Amino acid sequence: MGTHRRPRPAGRTRTAVLGAAAGAAVLLPSTAAWAEPATGNLDQVKAKVDNLYEDAEAATEQYNKMDEQARQLQDQAGKLQERLADQQGKILQLQDTLGALAAEQYRSGGIDPSVQLMLSSSPDDYLRQAGLQDLAGGQQTEALRSALRLQQSIDQQRTETSAKLAELEQTRTALSAKKTEVKAKLAEASNVLNGLKAADRARVLADNDPAASRSSSRPQSYTGPATGQVKAILDFAYAQLGKPYGWGATGPNAFDCSGLTQAAFRAGGVGLPRVSQDQWNAGKRIAKSDIQPGDLLFYYNDLHHVGIYIGNGKLLHAPRTGKNIEIVPIDVMPYMGAVRP
């Protein structure tokens, strides 16, 4: 991922799905002019661009988390609405039952007041009043009690559904703001780069770190000793080498860091959460001296970057916007820890 600044602690902040344009690795168009710096200041420019890319990746993981929450909320609200419709259907059936009871009572000389009330009012109005009455015994009492329980359940589910929908709307608003934040940082980086001469742009985008310079993104196959699930995970990961990083992308043509690890482990039959911070809690913590191929390695204080250990001190990961999935030494970024799912 190139030369990085020292990480700063960051707080942890998808129902829109990112389109191909959002996941593309090309930089956004320039929006303002940037003065060509003096040659001696290119290191400062490089640091600025690297910082912007790093900030954008951290914000991407926050975006992914909110997007996942929005999907879950949408699913929960849908299920609540289905249950609500089912309960309302049942209370209509009970009204039919009470109607039959009323007809029978009428033929027998009169309708019980509680049944009459049920049939002449909305269920809500009836049950508020019926709760203050002593209901008659027999078949109608059980029907009325069932209606009361159903109505109470309906009222609760209406409240829960409203709360979920309100939470979903708030999450969508935050999601939109986070998407804007990511795009703004990438646009600023693009603006800086577009203001440079071609040679200077190449220098800024180059990996000057000796460790990073040993990276490889050329297509290749896994040839190590791993077997079973781990081999399936690594076979999938190796097959993605050279594909572009795409923020919020989960394949098949582009990936962000946690999208790649999630897809690779899925290929091995192992489920992982969507975002890096949650993947950190998806297995057993492993000491750096004990890491094995197939372990997840995490980077930066806020754990916003993750990759797969492939052995021999190497990491396979999706780095950041403008770069491709690659293999690098594990110490190319600030290492935080390892997890074995």
Give the count of beta carbons closer than 10 Å to the beta carbon of residue 57: 24
Residue 128: other Cβ atoms inside 10 A: 12
Active site residue 304: no
Q: 60-95 burial string, b = 16+ CB within 10 Å, else e?
A: bbbbbbbbbbbbebbebbeebeeebeebeeebeebb
Q: Tell me whether residue 257 is one of the annotated catalytic residues.
A: yes
307 forms beta bridges with 297
Instruction: Tokens 């916007």: give the residue.
Output: 321
Distance of CA 24 to the CA centre of its chain: 18
Q: What amino acid is encoded at 289 in this protein?
A: S
3-state secondary structure at position 170: helix
Q: Are 186 and 52 a contacting pair, CB within 8 Å? A: yes
Among the listed residues 257, 272, 275, 316, the single catalytic one is 257
Residue written as token pair 């290492």: 335
Q: Considering only CA atoms, which of 176, 138, 311, 310 is closest in space to residue 240?
A: 310
Which residues sit opposite 327 in a β-bridge?
A: 216, 316
4: annotated active-site residue: no
Dig out the tokens for 131 from the structure: 């709760």
The one catalytic residue among 65, 305, 320, 323: 305
- Among 317, 318, 321, 327, the active-site one is 317
Catalytic residue positions, numbered = 257, 305, 317
